[in-house]
Amino acid sequence: MPAVYFPDVPEYQPLIEAISRQGDIQCSKAGGYVALVSPGEIRVRRADTGLIEAVWFGALVGGFEGKVAKFDDKELRIA
């Protein structure tokens, strides 16, 4: 199952919220991180988050499980 981990800081909150709005996303907090796990692909468009590029391109610093299917200035997909 794909998963992404974000530092639990205000800068990543719009990204966490955008992903959490998708169906079947499990969200949990531990050790200063937010974990988002999905039975299917995790997909989020940068336009839905309002993040500036510097924060957007740091989105995977907390780590992930799965395969990066796409990560550019418009979309992130973890399969």
Assigned token pair, 50:
């309002």
38 confidence band (pLDDT: 50, 70, 90): very high
The per-residue pLDDT for range 10-27, each reduced to its tens digit, is 999 999 999 999 889 999
In this prediction, residue 20 carries a pLDDT of 93
CATH number given to 3-78: 3.90.56.10
Q: CB-side exposure of 68: number of CA atoms within 13 Å?
A: 9
Sign of CA dihedral 29, 71, 24, 16: positive
Q: What is the model's pLDDT at position 15?
A: 96
In angstroms, the CA 59 to CA 61 distance is: 6
Model pLDDT for residues 46-67, shown as the tens digit of each residue: 999 999 999 999 999 999 999 9
Domain boundaries, the chain: 3-78
Predicted local confidence at residue 2, as pLDDT: 96
